[in-house]
Structure 1
Amino acid sequence: MKLKKRYISLLCICSLAMSSCDSFLEEKPLDQKDSNQFWQTAADAETGVNALYFGGVPYLHNTGGGWTPKATCWGGIISGLYVDRRKDRQFTNASEGCNFNVASFEDQAMSYWHEFYKGISRANFVIANVPNMTGVLSEETIKYYVAQGKFFRAYAYFWLVKEFGDVPYISEPYTSPDGIFKERIPAAEVYGYIEQDLLDIVNNNGLPNKAFYDNGCYATLPMAQTLLAQVYLQRAGAPLNGGDADYAKAAQMALKVVEGGQHALVQAGGSSDDLNSAFNVIKTTKSSNEIIYAKEYNYTNHKVGNSYAAHSMGSDASQWKDANGSAIFHPGGDVLENIYLPCDMIVNSYDPADIRGHEKQFFFREYTDATGVSHQLNNIGNWAWFDEKSLMEGHDGDYNMPMFRYSEVLLIAAEGLARTGQESAALGYLNQVRNRAGLANETATGDALIQSILTERLHEFPLEFKVWDDIRRTRLYPEEVGAQSGKLNWVPLTSAKIQNKPDGQIRVGAIPEYALLWPIPLDEMQANPALQGHQNPGWN
C-alpha cells in the first residue's frame, strides 16, 4: 500500500512533494511557489490534491502530541467513558473535575479550529483553481480532483459544525487580506453547504465506485456516500433535530454504499476467535474492503508512523522483562501510557459470546513474550492499537487507522430504518454486525431496538471515536445493565451517571449540555472582530 507525499506551499498551504497514486509519503519539501506560479502544470494540480490528505480531519490522528491524547480521543475523554491515565493535559484534568471553562479547553479548541480551517483552505484552492486548468488536465481529471476537494471541504465543515455549532463559512481561497473576517452563520446553513458538496459528488459520479485500497487510497464514491450518511444521521438528532426526514436520508445513503457492492464485512458469516479473526484483520490489513477510509501510516518502510502503539497499554508494561532479564518494549520516546483507557462499564458490558470482548480482539490483559514469559497488565490494554514490532524496535507504528468501516454503514442503515418505522429491515442490517461478532439475532422493537443499535455502535467501535457524536446527537448516555449482559441503558444525559468524574468515580449529571460544543477559541475571537462577543453559550 502506498501513500501520497506532503506538504505543498501555496499561501497558507505547506510544501508538498509530487507523487503518483502509488507513491509513498516522504518529507521532501519543494521550493515555495506563490499563487501566480502555482496551478500551471499537472504536477501542481496533483500536489494540491495530495495535500488534502495531510491536513484537516485526517490529521486529528496526529494532533495532540507526545504522551497526551490525540485529538481523536478528546470527545471520549470528556464523556468520562475513557480515561487519560497520564493526565498531562489541563483539559483532561478540568474535564474530570467538571471545570468546563474556556481557559482549560482553549488549547484543544484552537487545535481543532486551526486544523479544520487548514483543510478547508487547501480544499478551496483545489476547487477554485483546478477547473481553470483545461489546457493541462483532461475533463475527467478535473472532475475527479474537484470532487476530492469537495469531499475534504465537506468533511472539515462537518467536524467544525459538530464541535462548534455556528461557524464562519469560507468557500473561496484567500489570496489577499481583503474580506478575511467572517461572521458565524447558523449551523443549519453550514449543514446545507456540506450536503450540497457531497450531493454534487454522489449525483455527478465525481469519484469512482471503488473500494478505498483498490483506488490507491484516494477518495471514492463510497467514502462520499458514507460521509453523507453520517451527516444526515448527526443532523437528524440534536441540536438541529432534523428527525425522520434526515433519518430516512441517512438510511438511503447508507444503502447506496451497500448496493454499490464495493465493500463487505470481513468474515461476514461469523468471525473466528484468534489472531486471524475479522477484528485482527481489520487492525492489520492494508487491503480489506471492509475499510471504506483509513488514515495511512507506514513507519517500517517510509518512517511515517502512528503513535497509537505507545498508547495501547499502561506504563507498567515498560517494566516487563523476558526470561533473559531484558526489557521487552522500547517505545518511541521510551514512554508507554494508556491515554484512552476504556472504563470498566464498557469492557464488562460485552456478552460472553461477543468475540469483540474476548482477549486480543479489541482489548487485552495478557501478553506472552518471545521467551515464553507471560505478563499481566494492571489495567486493560487496547489491542486494536498494539503493534508489537514498533514497540520492540522503539519507533512509531505501521497500522492504518480506520475512519469509516462498512459495519458503520450497516448500523447507520439500521438506525435510520428503525427510527422511520421499518424495523424488520433495520433488524436485518443490525444482525449482520451482531452475527459477525458471534451474537444471536436481535428481535427487539421500538425503543429497545434503538437502544440495541446504539449499544452495538459502542461495542463495534470502542476505539474508533464514535460515541461522543452519538451522545451529542441523542442526548443519551450509556449506563450499565449488568456485567456481561451485552446491553446498555441509554438514559438522558442530564440525569445520567457519568463515568470518571473524577477518575474512578461516578457523578450524576456531570456534563452540562453546553459542554457538548467546544468554546470558540479566544485567540481566534481576538484576531477576528466579527467573532467578538459571540462565544458559545455557557462558556465563561
Structure 2
Amino acid sequence: MKINKYISILCMIAISLWMSSCTSFLEENPLDEKTDGQFWRTLSDAQTAVNALYFGGVPYLHNIDVDGGWTPKATMWGGVMSGLFVDKRKDRTFTNASEGGNFNIESFNSTSLKIWTEFYIGISRANFVIANIPEMTDVLTPAQIDNFVAQGKFFRAYAYFYLVKEYGDVPYIDFPYNSLEGIYQERVPAAQVYQHIEADLLDIIAGNALPNIAFYDNGGYVTRPMAQTLLANVYLQWAGAPVNGGNEYYTKAANMALNVINGGQHALIHPSGTTNDLNSAYNIIKTTKDSNEIIFAKEFNQTSFNVGNSYAVRSIETDAFQWGIFKPGGDVLYNAYLPCDMLLNSYHPSDIRGQEKQFFFWEYTSPDGEDFELNYAGNWAWFDEGSLINGRNGDYNMPTFRYAEVLLIAAEGLARTGNEGDARGYLNQVRTRAGLANETASGDALIQSILTERFHEFPLEFKIWDDIRRTRLYPEADGMQSGTLRWVPLATAAIQNKPEGSTRVGAIPEHALLWPIPLSEMQANPLLEGNQNPGWS
C-alpha cells in the first residue's frame, strides 16, 4: 500500500457535513479540521477523501465487533449464525441467540444497527467523492478526476452490494447530504438496487479510469480486475435467492469472471500443485503483500502505522494462555470462529488445505522448541506468532477477493448454464493446486462439488453465509474425509451447533437470512415505519 494512504488516515480531516453518525473514524483525533466549504480545494483534500473510502464502510467490518469486548468481528457474524463456526466465549446476546436459533429483533437489533450504519457511512463518503471531485478542475487533471471518481463508484457499489445482500430492499441514496432536505428515503426493491450497483461497476470497468493491473502493483488501490471481480460476485448473488435472477445472471457472472481470467493480471500461486509445509501457497496467501493471486485485501500495517490486524487473538483457544508464551496486550486470546468438526472432517486426506498449518492447526512448537497440542482446531490462516508473543496487533493483510474465487465463479456460472466441460476445467485448477484429483461429475453433482470447493478453499474468508443465502442450501457431512459434502435444502438440513455440539433440523428460519431493519432507523425515518423484513418480531 502506498504510504500516503496511511499518512492520510493518521491525519484524517473531519468534515462536518459528512455523515453525522460517523463517530468512529472521521472524529478519531483529527490533527486539523475543515468545514465542507474549506475542503475540496487541494490535491491533498482529494486524496484524503479517497483514502477514507478504504478504511470505513464495508472494509470497517474487520474492525466492528459485538457490543465491544472480546467477541467475533462483524465479518464473522454470518458464519456464527450458520452454526458452521462457533464463538467459544459466548458472552454476548447475539452469539447465544444464534446458537439457540432465537432469531428475534431483541437479540439482533444492536448488531444490525452497526453494520447498517457502517454501510451508509461508506456510501456517504463515496457520494461526496463522486459529487465533489469533478468540480476540482483547477487542481486535478482529467485523469486524476476520472480515477478518483471511479474509486468512489467502486466503494459505493461495494457498500450497496453488502446492504442488498444483508437486508434486501434498502433506501438508495446517490447524492451527498448538504442539508436535511431529502434525508428520508424509502426502501427500493432489491432488483433495482442491483441495477444501480451494476451501472456503477460497468461504468468504471468500461473506461480507462482504473489501471488494468494487479492490486499490489497498484499500491493497494482499486483496479479494473478488482471492479470486475466485485461485479462477478454481484451477478452470482443476483442470480440466486432472494431475487432469483437465474441463468441470465449466472451467465453474466461467468463472463465477468472470464474477463479477469483472460486479462492475465492475476494467477494462482503454485498452480501445478503446492507443498504442505510453511512454504505452501496457502501460507504465502497468509503472509503475502505482493502476490497477484490477491485481487483485493483489507490492508494492515501495525509496525509502521499502528493500523493492525487483530484476528490473531481470535485464532486460538483460551487455554493457550497457560503455555506462558503469548501476551496479546489489552486483549484476550480465544477462538471466536471455531470451525465445526463436520467441516474439518470433510477434507480428503490428500487435500493440503485440511492439513496441519495450512488453514488450520492442532500443534504448536514454541521458539524455545517446546511442543503443545490444542484442544480445538486453531485458525492458522490468522495465527501471527510474532504479534501474539509481543503483545501487539499484526501486519498480515486479510484477503477479500482471490483469483481462486474468480475461477470458482466462472465454474459455477458455466455449470449452471450447461457448459460443464469448461466449468470442470476452472474447478479443477483450484483442486489441482490443493492436491486433489480432477472432478469428472456433471449435473447437480458438479454444482455440489463447486459449492464444496468454495467452502474448502475459503473457510476463513467469510463466503459461506452468502452461499447459503443465495442457494438456500446447507452443507451436511458425506462421509469422513470423503472430500465431499451434501448440500441440502436449508429448511430440512441438520444445522450445526444449535447449540454447540448438537445439530438441529430447521434451526435457521428463512427470515434469518436477511437482517432486521434496525429499530432506530425505522423510528427515525417515517418512510421505513411498518416496513420491517418479514419474520422479525
Deviation string for 1:503-529 (max 9, x for gaps)? 110000110000000000001111111
Alignment of 1:438-517 (within 5 A): 438-517=435-514
Match of 1:81 in 2: 84
Give, in whole Å, the separation in 2 of the partners of 1:59 and 1:37: 27
Alignment of 1:2-17 (within 5 A): 2-3=2-3, 4=5, 5-6=8-9, 7-13=12-18
Aligned-pair CA distance for 1:206: 2.3
Secondary structure in 2 aligned to 1:531?
A: coil
Given the alignment of the two structures, is residue 404 of structure 1 paired with residue 401 of structure 2, yes or no?
A: yes
The answer to whether the Cα contact below 8 Å between 1:8 and 1:51 also exists between their aligned partners in 2 is no
- Counterpart selection for 2:433 from 422, 433, 436: 436
Match of 1:110 in 2: 113
Distance 1:34 1:123, change over 3 A: same
Given the alignment of the two structures, is residue 360 of structure 1 paired with residue 362 of structure 2, yes or no?
A: no
Give, in whole Å, the separation in 2 of the partners of 1:2 and 1:478: 41
Alignment of 1:269-284 (within 5 A): 269-284=272-287
Aligned-pair CA distance for 1:303: 1.6
Give, in whole Å, the separation in 2 of the partners of 1:197 and 1:334: 40
Aligned-pair CA distance for 1:246: 0.1
Aligned-pair CA distance for 1:259: 1.2
Match of 2:419 in 1: 422
Which of 503-512 and 35-44 deviates more? 35-44
Which of 34-43 and 483-492 deviates more? 34-43
- Counterpart selection for 1:311 from 314, 328, 332: 314
Distance 1:12 1:408, change over 3 A: farther
| Aligned residue type for 1:416 | G
The answer to whether the Cα contact below 8 Å between 1:355 and 1:361 also exists between their aligned partners in 2 is yes
Match of 2:61 in 1: 60
* Superposed CA RMSD: 1.2
Deviation string for 1:5-34 (max 9, x for gaps)? 32332235499xxxxxxxxxxx77232211
Secondary structure in 1 aligned to 2:210?
A: coil
Alignment of 1:177-196 (within 5 A): 177-196=180-199
Distance 1:524 1:402, change over 3 A: same
Alignment of 1:108-507 (within 5 A): 108-320=111-323, 327-507=324-504
Match of 2:24 in 1: none
Give, in whole Å, the separation in 2 of the partners of 1:439 and 1:394: 39
Give, in whole Å, the separation in 2 of the partners of 1:402 and 1:277: 16
| Aligned residue type for 1:8 | I
Give, in whole Å, the separation in 2 of the partners of 1:178 and 1:412: 42
Aligned-pair CA distance for 1:530: 1.1
Aligned-pair CA distance for 1:334: 4.6
Match of 1:32 in 2: 33
The answer to whether the Cα contact below 8 Å between 2:17 and 2:35 also exists between their aligned partners in 1 is no
Distance 1:384 1:447, change over 3 A: same
Give, in whole Å, the separation in 2 of the partners of 1:406 and 1:89: 36
Which of 90-99 and 227-236 deviates more? 90-99
Match of 1:72 in 2: 75
The answer to whether the Cα contact below 8 Å between 2:19 and 2:124 also exists between their aligned partners in 1 is no
The answer to whether the Cα contact below 8 Å between 2:13 and 2:32 also exists between their aligned partners in 1 is no
| Aligned residue type for 1:366 | E
TM-score by length of 1: 0.95
Deviation string for 1:119-141 (max 9, x for gaps)? 00000000001111112111111
Match of 1:518 in 2: 515
Secondary structure in 2 aligned to 1:529?
A: coil
Deviation string for 1:216-270 (max 9, x for gaps)? 1001001100000000000000011111100000000001111111100011110
Secondary structure in 1 aligned to 2:378?
A: strand
Give, in whole Å, the separation in 1 of the partners of 2:253 and 2:17: 35
Aligned-pair CA distance for 1:301: 2.3
TM-score by length of 2: 0.96
How many residues align structurally? Answer: 523
Give, in whole Å, the separation in 2 of the partners of 1:40 and 1:421: 54
Aligned-pair CA distance for 1:35: 1.4
- Counterpart selection for 1:534 from 519, 531, 535: 531
Give, in whole Å, the separation in 1 of the partners of 2:39 and 2:305: 27
The answer to whether the Cα contact below 8 Å between 1:357 and 1:363 also exists between their aligned partners in 2 is yes
Q: Which runs of 5+ in 1 are unaligned?
A: 16-26, 321-326
